[in-house]
Amino acid sequence: MANRREFIRISSLGLGGMALAGGSLSLVKGSEVIESLFQSQLSDRQRQRVPTYCEICFWKCAGWVYFNEDGKIKKIEGNDNDLNCNGRLCPRGTGGVGMYYDPDRLKTPLIRTEERGRQTFREASWDEALSYIAEKMQKIAREHGPECVALFTHGSGGKYFGDLLKATGSTNIAAPSFAQCRGPREVAFIYTFGESIDSPENTDIRDTRCLVLIGSHIGENMHNGQVQEMSDAIDRGATIITVDPRYSTAASKSKYWLPIKPATDIALLLAWIHVIIFEELYDRDYVERYTVGFEQLKEHVRNKTPEWAYGITTIKPHIIRETAREMGNASPAVIVHPGRHVTWYGDDTQRSRSIAILNALLGSWGRRGGFYRNANYELPSFPHPEFPEPKRTWREAFPGKYNLATTVLANGVCDATIPSADRSCNFKGWIVCGTNLIETLPNQKNTIEAIQNLELLAVIDTMPMEITGWADVVLPECTYLERYDSIRTGQARLPQIALRMPASEPLYDSKPSWWIAKELAKKLGLQAYFDYDTIEDLLDWQLRQIGSSLEEMQRIGVKTFERDADDLYFADGEAIEFNTSSGKIELYSPDFEAEGFDPLPNYTPHEEPPEGFYRLNYGRGPAHTFSRTANNANLTDIMEENSLWVNPKVASQWGIRNDQYVWLRNQDDITSKFPIKVRVTERIRWDSVYMVHGFGHDQKRLTRCYGKGASDTELISRVLVDPIMGGTGMRGNFVTFVLEDPAAIAADT
Amino acid sequence: MKEEIIVSGRMNHMVDPQLHIWEWPIPLYLFLGGLAAGILIFASFYTLQGKEAKFPTAVRIAPLITPIILVLGLLALFYDLNHKLFFWRLYTTIRLESPMSWGAWTLMVVTPLAFIWSALHIREAFPRFDWKYDWVKQLEAFFRKHIKILAWILIIFSLILGVYTGILFSAFNARPLWNTSILGPLFLTSGMSTGAAVIVLLSKSHEERLHFARLDIVLIGIELFLIVHMFMGFLASTEVQIQAAGLFLGGPYTTPFWLFVVFMGLIFPASLEVLEIKGYKLPLIVAPILVILGGLIFRFIIAYAGQISRWLY
Amino acid sequence: MRYAMAVDTRKCVGCSDCVVACQTENNVPIGYCRDWVVEVVDGTFPQLEIEIRSERCNHCENAPCVRCCPTGASHYSDGGTVLVNSRKCIGCGACIASCPYDARYPHPDGYPDKCTFCLTNRVQKGLKPACVAVCPTKCLYFGDLEDPNSDVSRVLKVRKWKTLIPEAGTKPHLYFLI
Ligand SMILES: Nc1nc2c(c(=O)[nH]1)N[C@H]1C(S)=C(S)[C@@H](COP(=O)(O)OP(=O)(O)OC[C@H]3O[C@@H](n4cnc5c(=O)[nH]c(N)nc54)[C@H](O)[C@@H]3O)O[C@H]1N2
Ligand SMILES: Nc1nc2c(c(=O)[nH]1)N[C@H]1C(S)=C(S)[C@@H](COP(=O)(O)OP(=O)(O)OC[C@H]3O[C@@H](n4cnc5c(=O)[nH]c(N)nc54)[C@H](O)[C@@H]3O)O[C@H]1N2
Ligand code: SF4
Ligand code: SF4
Ligand code: SF4
Ligand code: SF4
Ligand code: SF4
Ligand SMILES: [Mo]
């Protein structure tokens, strides 16, 4: 039984027919329900639309769902009052309808079976599937402790499964948005300003005079508010400086594009700090009033001259000076953007620290055109018993390490699932809701090895993504267009809440997360933590606490409140107590020092691609979100596969033509499963290749995207772990071209 | 390096990556139209000249196939329409700016005339044939009496039809390869040349054959002249037309055009005809068949290559 | 009245939201599009420039597609908007071949389809065309050229612009701010 989870298929006998019948049935039912719902609650005008907020990425734009004459979902438009989107969704949000109509959706609960040596799934009822999970969870709790079950989640459902897990006594709730995404910057900003950035970023791009993008490719990264505000900034004549080894879309909109040699940003940042300090371009008053460690910093960068950085970054000294002056002149209305996906080279927290320090010197934190102060808004939680105190946490698996990580490391849980003699307990059960770990975590081999050691893998998803293929139980969640979720709260310039409500009855036999979690809680005897009948009751109760109601939110979708005080920016000379050890902005970090890390960032060289290999660079395509949209018909229309960007010089060296398909092999001899189409373009350097993340799906049930393009994840086998917070640096992988089909070659020999 | 790509994944059926909205039916339709026009021009011309007896095939026999050819052409056109149920809309307006429209109307005139012409001459081919009804006979007599007027109308509309087969393309300023006024005369000449070839094929009279072979040589000469002229025009024109001509000058259509159309369809058969006139005994059907095939391929190549040619921006 | 659209190539990021929004608004079948986005990259690394253009029917004032239509199905409507009346159309494809911008496609239902400036479903109801309303960078401007206060008149007054292949004589009304 060692290899219990060989790659399995879902037996689809009868499933298609059922799905069809189920689909058309519930469609009819759906429109009837909507009909009655509207008649009972909404006035004539509103009958044509219901509010939602988008789940295609984590910007959570609020919008309206509109219907066609048959009462079926037609389109989604942004809500004009929403601060995240200002009435304009991004292409993915606009294409969200494709997720609802996707014929490949998960349709019923599935349970793994072994039939004559072959692993397949069979359809199951919800009751059976949930009982199965509950029994396994109880068994793990009995034999190893409830903390040995972890939750991986990304998205709305996480709230309910999180509560469920906490109710069982486990706090091991991990999201890839930390250690695979923004973790390094959050830690860096916490240890500099005493506050993390979080989402949506509090960058005041709209009013900035100078925007510095270090690898953040806004415009391809379609985080809506950022894109909109960058465009406003262009209109207002702001200077944009983009540091990116690739000619990103943002770079093409910039006054300065610094085509930096990959992995050398810290050197550039230190040189900028040098110029800003030694040419006295920094905000003296701000630095004196709010920061500590300036003198140490000054000493530290004394010899980090632009000339020094030139040798490392290949950016000319006069450009480094010129751009530093642009920032200085714009100060404090300048943003050195903290980026978002920042797990690149393993020294990412230090790079983010350099960015934080630079912002501090320019006085942009808390200032108009820099970083505004968030208005945070939270709703009271529905009364429930105290969660039990967990006996152990994931941290015990990593004694003395990653103490500065602020949340659970997804990769950490994964590592701690693989049995090892020095751990008292390994994880035995995973619940995965809304994250496709196979494509999301680097080093697939490791992820799969961890999964092979599980006693329970339950996956809640909408689509038959790779992760579902490894599950013991698959639970089909309905899409965000078919369900209520928690009220959207969070941070923005003004306090604001948004409602998501169903625009249709769930298609097929799918259910919302809140229902699944609540039913599972019942089976586990934890219903006290979910002490409401329906989610409408819960939401209405919460909304009434703040003087609104479900009915009102159904009508308006988004509600904006006043700020408590006029404190969007620091007032002149305002005394601020920062949430750091010293109460000041810490240019020099004693906390880092105490943990044994550099209190001031240092540049360390990184490995370079060997002869014939190229650095594997990846990023976002504007019309897709990771792997989740790869099968969405409205979005595959825009981009159905990713391509491999290759510099013309490299292409001619290899004799590769435009549009030719090639396979890739990385430094660890891993070859891509599928070939990828080459785009010969000047937009990429000769030492790297680039592709959009999220393609190369190998689940046949994803009929639109199966085998389209290549997966960057499968080639990211070398992970550069950030010692400070455990982030997984993913840009240290090198690939070479394989021009012939490796399968054919293998068959020949 | 300059790179120009569509980043929104556009792949409209029959338009991308290159326009191919018109498949085989349209060039076939134009070829058949041109061929029928050619035959009918000769038939009416020699009728007006009073040379019915000298060129019986041209005046009486060959036209008998034109109704079939025209109907086949119309069927091809109909087959190509995507909204067939609305076909009748063609005949609810006359839109002079639209070659499609006046082409349709021209056909509306020429096709019945071709039928009438055939009816008048059907007994030449089938001597035992007679009309069943008297009123048909009366009608026949009426037309026979006014056959010169009929011939005048026919020659005019056949010329229009012949030119139309070219104008349909050349009216498209969007397709640089088509956008040359030479295409009208060129297709007319080509249609007449294929018409002459059909007459040569059908004719049993040596004299008539020689006459039309000679005529064909002249027509082929004109065609070659027009083709050279067309390319000179392209090359002396804008970048887009230079690019369009490039399709035939080193581009993907170079071999098909120069080998199949110009050499096999024009120069080679013309040479055969010259030899024949000089008295060499050659298989009689080779030259006319090559001319007809050449004319057909010519339409296909112009239709396809024209759709590829485009404005650069 | 003369409707026109302007596209700011300096702000457009090529995200194709305009294309997706047009598709859902106008029931454009999957696999087809009425608008599309072109990216032109010029130069040699690292001396590079990109122009990004969201393109669609130019609603030409001298529209070859209207001229060549044998039935009058392709016609000028309010504000010079070029529309297709599918009930008059025979599906001959002439208009598709006649458009120098390849702005039309054969709809699977048999008639040619293309951008309508969202005339009847949005503009005449006082809304902006779907692509204009959705564009995250607000780089699309729509309005009446004859109204000096319309978005499009104002932006054309202050910015440099070009049209595509004006030498084709079509008098296009899609303007690209450069
Ligand atoms: N359309 C779309 N938008 C998205 C998402 C999506 O899936 N789709 N996801 C959202 C999420 S969760 C995140 S985290 C963000 C991520 O978006 P960003 O934070 O903007 O993305 P990154 O992946 O960090 O950055 C990618 C860029 O970094 C450049 N780069 C690579 N190596 C280096 C280097 O050594 N130095 C420098 N300076 N640059 C380098 C690449 O060339 C590329 O342009 O996007 C968000 N927005
Ligand atoms: N190689 C590589 N790895 C990366 C990145 C990269 O650029 N390259 N980016 C990293 C970053 S920045 C991030 S934030 C993470 C993102 O990682 P993930 O959030 O895991 O990304 P997705 O691939 O979008 O996976 C989302 C999963 O949720 C499912 N899903 C979508 N909607 C719903 C829903 O409503 N309910 C439920 N239950 N499931 C739903 C989808 O079907 C899919 O299986 O990936 C990280 N990993
Ligand atoms: S940015 Fe786009 S995908 Fe993300 S929530 Fe907003 S509309 Fe949806
Ligand atoms: S939506 Fe706007 S920014 Fe995006 S491609 Fe279209 S025009 Fe450009
Ligand atoms: S762009 Fe094309 S379809 Fe639109 S009006 Fe002009 S010619 Fe007609
Ligand atoms: S396809 Fe229709 S609209 Fe176009 S030219 Fe023909 S009849 Fe007119
Ligand atoms: S104006 Fe309307 S029809 Fe035209 S491209 Fe924009 S959304 Fe589509
Ligand atoms: Mo992320």
Whether residues A560 and A664 fall in one domain = no
Residue C99: list chain B partners with CB under 8 A. 174
In chain A, positions 206-225, which contact chain C (CB-CB < 8 Å)?
219-220, 222, 224
**What is the pLDDT, as a whole number, of residue B313?**
72
User: How wide is the angle at C-alpha A268 spanned by C-alphas A262 and A269, nearest 5°?
Assistant: 120
The boundaries of the domain holding residue C80 are 3-177
**How many Å separate Cα A665 from the centre of its chain?**
26
In chain A, positions 589-648, which contact chain B (CB-CB < 8 Å)?
636-640, 648
CA of A620 to the centre of ligand 1 (A): 6
With cut-offs at 50, 70 and 90, classify the pLDDT of residue A425. confident
Report the percentage of chain A scoring pLDDT > 90: 87
Whether residues A632 and A585 fall in one domain = no
Q: Which atom of ligand 6 is nearest to the CA of C93?
A: 1
With cut-offs at 50, 70 and 90, classify the pLDDT of residue B282. confident
Q: Verify whether the Cβ–Cβ distance C110 to B173 is below 8 Å.
A: no
Closest residue in B to A680 (Cα–Cα): B3
Total H helices, total E strands in chain B:
12, 1
Residue C133: list chain A partners with CB under 8 A. 77, 87-88
Q: Whose atoms come closest to the Cα of A52: which ligand?
A: 3
* Average pLDDT score over residue span C65-90: 96
Residue A77 lies in a domain: yes
Distance from CA of A94 to the nearest CA of C (A): 6
Distance from CA of B105 to the nearest CA of C (A): 10
Q: Worst-scoring range by mean pLDDT, A590-594, B237-241, C129-133?
A: B237-241
Contact residues for A272 (Cβ-Cβ < 8 A; gap 6+): A320, A323, A324, A327, A358
The boundaries of the domain holding residue A36 are 1-101+478-511+532-574
**What is the pLDDT, as a whole number, of residue B128?**
83
Whether residues A221 and A349 fall in one domain = yes
* The total number of structural domains that make up chain C: 1
Q: Of all protein residues, whose CA lies closest to atom 8 belonging to ligand 4? A: C12
Whether residues A278 and A341 fall in one domain = yes
pLDDT in tens, B200-209: 999 999 999 9
User: What residues pair up with C162 in beta bridges, in sequence order?
Assistant: C176
Task: Quickly list DSSP for A327-376.
Answer: HHHHTTSEEE---S---SSS-HHHHHHHHHHHHHHHT-BTSTTSBPPPEE
Query: Closest by alpha carbon to C99, among C70, C66, C53?
Result: C66
Residue A248 lies in a domain: yes
Mean pLDDT of chain C: 96
**What is the pLDDT, as a whole number, of residue A748?**
66
Q: Report pTM.
A: 0.94
CA of A461 to the centre of ligand 5 (A): 45
Residue A679: list chain B partners with CB under 8 A. 5
Any B CB within 8 A of C52 CB: yes
**What is the pLDDT, as a whole number, of residue A20?**
38
We report the CATH number of the domain holding residue A298 as 3.40.228.10
pLDDT in tens, A311-363: 999 999 999 999 999 999 999 999 999 999 999 999 999 999 999 999 999 99
User: What residues pair up with A271 in beta bridges, in sequence order?
Assistant: none
For a pocket test of ligand 4, which of C9, C140, C176 has the largest count of ligand atoms closer than 8 A to its C-beta? Answer: C140
Report the percentage of chain A scoring pLDDT > 70: 93
Whether residues A581 and A567 fall in one domain = no
H helical segments located in A557-604: 590-594
* Average pLDDT score over residue span B110-117: 95
- At residue A398, what is the residue type? F
The count of C-alpha atoms lying within 13 angstroms of the C-alpha of B163, restricted to the half-sphere facing its C-beta, is 13
Query: Closest by alpha carbon to C44, among A692, B3, A654?
Result: B3
- Supply B241's token pair: 């037309």
Q: Domains of chain B (ranges plus CATH)? A: 19-308 (1.20.1630.10)
Among partner residues C37, C72, C92, which is closest to B81 by beta-carbon distance? C92
Whether residues A568 and A582 fall in one domain = no
Any A CB within 8 A of C158 CB: no
Sign, CA torsion B239/B240/B244/B245: negative
- At residue A153, what is the residue type? T
Query: Closest by alpha carbon to A89, among A64, A123, A124?
Result: A64
- Supply A291's token pair: 């920061």
Mean pLDDT of chain A: 92
Residue A299 lies in a domain: yes
With cut-offs at 50, 70 and 90, classify the pLDDT of residue A44. very low
With cut-offs at 50, 70 and 90, classify the pLDDT of residue A3. low
Q: Domain boundary at A541, A561, A594, which? A: A594
Whether residues A561 and A655 fall in one domain = no
* Average pLDDT score over residue span B61-75: 95
Tally of CB atoms within 10 A around A382? 16
* The total number of structural domains that make up chain A: 3
Q: Which atom of ligand 3 is nearest to the CA of A84?
A: 6
* Average pLDDT score over residue span A554-577: 93
Q: Whose atoms come closest to the Cα of C165: which ligand?
A: 5
SS3 B119: helix
Any B CB within 8 A of C91 CB: yes
In chain C, positions 109-138, which contact chain A (CB-CB < 8 Å)?
133-138
With cut-offs at 50, 70 and 90, classify the pLDDT of residue A382. very high
Place of tokens 């970090």: A589
- At residue A547, what is the residue type? G
Residue A1 lies in a domain: yes
The whole-angstrom separation of Cα B165 and Cα A657 is 40
Among partner residues C40, C96, C168, which is closest to B21 by beta-carbon distance? C96
Tally of CB atoms within 10 A around A224? 25
pLDDT in tens, A448-486: 999 999 999 999 999 999 999 999 999 999 999 999 999
Any C CB within 8 A of A634 CB: yes
Q: Worst-scoring range by mean pLDDT, A120-134, A609-623, B22-36, B77-91?
A: B77-91
CA of C72 to the centre of ligand 6 (A): 8
Q: Verify whether the Cβ–Cβ distance B3 to A681 is below 8 Å.
A: yes
Contact residues for B148 (Cβ-Cβ < 8 A; gap 6+): B47, B48
Whether B4 shows a pLDDT value over 70: the answer reads yes
Whether A16 shows a pLDDT value over 60: the answer reads no
Helix (H) or strand (E) holding B12: none
Residue B101: list chain C partners with CB under 8 A. 69-71
Whether residues A736 and A715 fall in one domain = yes
Whether residues A318 and A338 fall in one domain = yes
Whether A655 shows a pLDDT value over 80: the answer reads yes
Whether residues A35 and A69 fall in one domain = yes
Residue A444 lies in a domain: no
Whether A703 shows a pLDDT value over 80: the answer reads yes
* Average pLDDT score over residue span B253-261: 95
The whole-angstrom separation of Cα B205 and Cα A267 is 95
- Supply A464's token pair: 């038959």
* Average pLDDT score over residue span B204-229: 94
Whether residues A202 and A305 fall in one domain = yes
We report the CATH number of the domain holding residue C107 as 3.30.70.20
Whether C19 shows a pLDDT value over 70: the answer reads yes
Any C CB within 8 A of B96 CB: no
Per the rule left: phi > 0, alpha: psi between -120 and 50, beta: everything else, A106 is: beta
Residue A682: list chain B partners with CB under 8 A. 1, 3
* Average pLDDT score over residue span A644-655: 97
We report the CATH number of the domain holding residue A483 as 3.30.200.210
Residue A163 lies in a domain: no
Q: Verify whether the Cβ–Cβ distance B86 to C91 is below 8 Å.
A: yes
With cut-offs at 50, 70 and 90, classify the pLDDT of residue A35. very low
Contact residues for A417 (Cβ-Cβ < 8 A; gap 6+): A150, A426, A427, A428, A430, A450, A451, A453, A454
For a pocket test of ligand 7, which of C20, C25, C56 has the largest count of ligand atoms closer than 8 A to its C-beta? Answer: C56
Residue A128 lies in a domain: no
Among partner residues A637, A648, A682, which is closest to B9 by beta-carbon distance? A637
Place of tokens 């009930």: C87
Whether residues A222 and A303 fall in one domain = yes
Whether B177 shows a pLDDT value over 70: the answer reads yes
